Structure 1
Amino acid sequence: MDNFWLKQAFDRLGEPQGRSLSTHVTADVTVVGGGYLGLWTAIRVKERSPSLKVVVVERDLCGSGASSRNGGFVTSYWAKYLSLHKLCGTDEATRIAKSSAEAVLEISAFCRENAIDAEFRADGWLWTATSAAQIGCWNILINELAKHNVRPFEILDNEEVARLGGTDRNLAGVFEPDAATVQPAMLALGLRTHAQKLGVVIYEHSPMIGLERTRTPKVITRKGSVSSKKVVLAMNAWGAQFPFLRRKVAIVSSDMIATTARPDKLNEIGFVKGVAICDSRMFLNYYRNTPDGRVIFGKSLGHFAFAGQVADHYEGPSPRAGEVEESFLKLYPMLDGMDIESSWTGPIDRSVDGLPFFGRLDNHPDVFYGIGFSGQGVGPTVLGGKILASLALDEVNEWSECGLIRDDVDKFPIEPFRYVGSIVVREALRRKEWLEDHARRPDYFTLAIANLAPVGYVPSRRN
């Protein structure tokens, strides 16, 4: 198995024994997708209405998609407050951001109460600059938050930034204490187990091959089908197969490596706390250590899927592992002796504004979706589960009327212009960041093209 986190989880827990869908069944709510979003949704529905029959249909094993291929960062939406504010105003933006910070605590409580050893470490998030051009890029955000008397970030001096990250290659940074890291596959399998304890019926190795959007929607798999009153599509990047969603997300790769366990090496440089770290690039470097002394290092490299076709382009070892390792060694040259044990890749469903969006598929009253988490889903899927459960249960509350439920989502260009344009923008970004790394000012043309990129972590005046 190429999935590092999932293999590690199976070594500890044993591979879960599931069943596939081989006949026609009925349900009250069918959830398509057994990752974080789908499982949180199923759990919330079952908690609120225990008598309902809830079915989860998963193409592989629960958690085998993006939910077990990420870096395990559990962060809030305070870093995306400017995008939230533009979308839904001060009050709703603040409520969503506060709720996303509370979701970090919810995951901690969930793991503790259900004896799930997901290696939850509440050691915060360090947001850094690795070039002079990146220093202070967070000031626009921090100043706006201060206007509303909200101060989730601490500005650190350079010495503290170097100490927390174990390297002086981080030139500056701010710190969000209310963030954490987890072993993502252990969390996903814990959600799976808890959902089953609540009575959720899970069918794995049962990819959806069709969706009949009739009065009673019907999910069709290779060997069976489910008819239900409500259908929730929680498919991450795989949701781009629907024309209704295809132009609203761009599917792009994120690639990761894991070193061998060398706690002695990490102790030498003081990189021992479970802090989540990322820099301020569009081609983001994000990394953390693990309790057994590994470094998990990821990079967004921009391998795009034409027309949202995920297929098998994001399976197996990363074909870009060498480039990820090169970035790792630039930040940690003193760890050159740590071998790379594993690499992997996965798809990210990136929206134009970097925020997820929810709604009804093709305006069908009983088919709902959530998509566009843009590489930040571990914590926010807790909110997503509340939103989708409220919609599926026809509830009227703060989540069924959440500002992330929207029809007017910005779209990417049609193909082949999106694919070609993505490559042009990617190369402009590469050139811009290379020039900035070498203390050179990017030319106007490079900047103009690079500024066409969708919103990332780094705030901009476009927000």
Structure 2
Amino acid sequence: MKQQAFWLQQALASTDQPAPVPLQGELQADVCIVGGGFTGLWTAIMTQLAQPQWRIVLLEKDLCGSGASGRNGGCMLTWSTKYLTLCRLYGAEEAGRLVAASEQAVFDIAAFCQQYGIDAQLRLGGAVYAASNAAQVGSLTSVLRALDQVGRNRWQALDAAGTVALGGSAALQHGVYSAAAGSLQPALLVRGLLRVARQLGVRVFEHSAMTTLQEDEYVHVHTPHGRVRARQAVMALNAAMPRRFGRLADSVVLVSSDMVITEPAPAIIEQLGLQRGQAVCDLRTFVHYWRSTPDGRLMLGKGGNRIAWGNRLHGYFDQPSAYRGQLQAAMARFFPALAEVPLAQSWTGASDRSATGMPFFGVLPGYRRVWYGMGYSGNGVVQCHLGGQLLSSLLLGQDNAWTRSPLAQGPLAQFPPEPLRWPGAMLVRQAIRSVEARQDAGRPPAWLATRLAALASMAGKADR
């Protein structure tokens, strides 16, 4: 049975939500957006604000926020630590623009929530990256030096006491801090965006899964009980994209990110120094990440666990985490003071990890007036706001930095096809686990494991 993740349960219980309305019958629209997560809702809102007279319809197969947008960790992180990867992929000028845009988006999301009265528990507490073992020390040196050289480095080095004070754990060392970050309750943001979209005139239909997509002089989106005929459409289906559209099958690998959250323990959270809502990450490939909630819980997650064969959305992506025990052990290791605090819930979500670690957008292969965006690679809370800007610009036919961006040219790299992709990904995953386990133990990793683990570096969480 499908489990609603903790955040969506909270959001549905704490806000006055209208009953979901499925699509019945036929509608005419200027734009039909399929997918009611961050990307679809930001795109709908930005487009409707730019063209108030347009008829925009959004379809969601379940409830808005039931996918990755409502079950991620809620860490508002930027592309600044991926600057070297951005330079390699897109050139220095575009890399600098994207870093600046991602940092500005943090504050733009906060301003939007304030303007429209969205209580997403958003706190601009910044972000901390720090080493959790000796092998990770110096991992960010190259990228921070490169940011310094172009005057874009908003990170500041922390001493040992500062790292522990801001990171909340004595297991961390050699931390850096940026104020251009924070955290939020992701499902509250999704449901708030849903409310604003409807207020602006966007017609949203939940429990309205797309069954077929056709194109002639119009785009026709069919659901079990209705159809939308639109001039343009956007597919914002996140992890469902590669299975629905085979030409994108090799563009991403679906990897689980698993999370646990404690019962409230506000006194301990304050003792740890995490009450500001700062997002904290260590510097391993399969990163640990954590942040507090305003009611004094601690959420801790870790990426890189299950990998889906053939990019199938297996049932385990909608179930309590199979890694709950390991996450609880990590919680106790990083935060001994929380070891006896009960866990409220664990959950799992699918991350569509691209071969470059960056999202990509463009015209859906085989269509002329259907756009898409995907591949956020586990770093989309802030970046989906940028995706909304890009997709809205495409819908509006604008000639600007977003429509000219290499991000709008589709995937720049591919994974091997099945049956090679899954066993290859599992081999690399096991190598990374081996390397990181030995590093945690203060032992040198095996040569072969190190070489295999390096294959994941292009799509790493941060530039090393």
Q: Compute the TM-score of the two structures, normalised by the length of structure 1.
A: 0.97
Match of 2:463 in 1: 459
Amino acid at match of 1:455: A
Residues 1:285 and 2:255 aligned together: no
Match of 1:5 in 2: 7
Deviation at 1:408, TM superposition (A): 5.2
3-state SS in 2 of match to 1:44 = helix
Match of 1:394 in 2: 397
3-state SS in 1 of match to 2:317 = coil
Match of 2:448 in 1: 445
8 Å Cα contact 2:258-2:305 kept in structure 1: no
State the alpha-carbon separation in 2 of the partners of residues 375 and 20 from structure 1.
Answer: 29
Q: Which runs of no fewer than 5 residues in structure 1 stay unpaired?
A: none
- Give the one of 182, 202, 213 matched to 1:211: 213
Match of 1:18 in 2: 20
Decide whether aligned partners of structure 1 residues 350 and 135 sit closer, same or farther in structure 2, where only a CA change above 3 A counts: same
State the alpha-carbon separation in 1 of the partners of residues 98 and 426 from structure 2.
Answer: 33
1:328-364: CA deviations, max 9, x gaps?
1111122111100111111001011111001111152
Decide whether aligned partners of structure 1 residues 392 and 331 sit closer, same or farther in structure 2, where only a CA change above 3 A counts: same
Match of 2:195 in 1: 193
Amino acid at match of 1:57: L
1:162-198: CA deviations, max 9, x gaps?
0112221012211111101111111111100000001
Root mean square deviation, CA, Å: 1.3
Match of 1:429 in 2: 432
3-state SS in 2 of match to 1:314 = helix
Amino acid at match of 1:58: E
Residues 1:247 and 2:250 aligned together: yes
Matches within 5 A, 1:156-235: 156-235=158-237
State the alpha-carbon separation in 2 of the partners of residues 348 and 408 from structure 1.
Answer: 16
Residues 1:100 and 2:102 aligned together: yes
Deviation at 1:77, TM superposition (A): 1.0
Match of 1:141 in 2: 143
8 Å Cα contact 2:261-2:297 kept in structure 1: yes
8 Å Cα contact 2:353-2:375 kept in structure 1: yes
3-state SS in 2 of match to 1:277 = strand
Deviation at 1:271, TM superposition (A): 3.0
8 Å Cα contact 1:73-1:276 kept in structure 2: yes
Any runs of at least 4 consecutive aligned residues in structure 1 with deviations exceeding 6 A, and if so which? Answer: none
1:394-436: CA deviations, max 9, x gaps?
1112221123112452100111111111111111110000010
State the alpha-carbon separation in 2 of the partners of residues 339 and 20 from structure 1.
Answer: 38
Amino acid at match of 1:43: I
- Give the one of 27, 31, 37 matched to 2:33: 31
8 Å Cα contact 1:164-1:273 kept in structure 2: no
8 Å Cα contact 1:42-1:200 kept in structure 2: yes
Q: Which runs of no fewer than 5 residues in structure 2 stay unpaired?
A: none
State the alpha-carbon separation in 1 of the partners of residues 248 and 318 from structure 2.
Answer: 22
State the alpha-carbon separation in 2 of the partners of residues 197 and 356 from structure 1.
Answer: 29
Deviation at 1:203, TM superposition (A): 0.8
Amino acid at match of 1:188: V
1:100-136: CA deviations, max 9, x gaps?
1111111111111111111111110000110100011
1:195-253: CA deviations, max 9, x gaps?
00010000101111221133312112122221111010111111112112110111010
Match of 1:75 in 2: 77
1:338-391: CA deviations, max 9, x gaps?
100111111001011111001111152201110000111111111110110111
Q: Compute the TM-score of the two structures, normalised by the length of structure 2.
A: 0.97
Deviation at 1:450, TM superposition (A): 0.8
State the alpha-carbon separation in 2 of the partners of residues 303 and 133 from structure 1.
Answer: 25
| Aligned-pair identity (%) | 38
1:63-103: CA deviations, max 9, x gaps?
11111101111122111111111121111111111111111
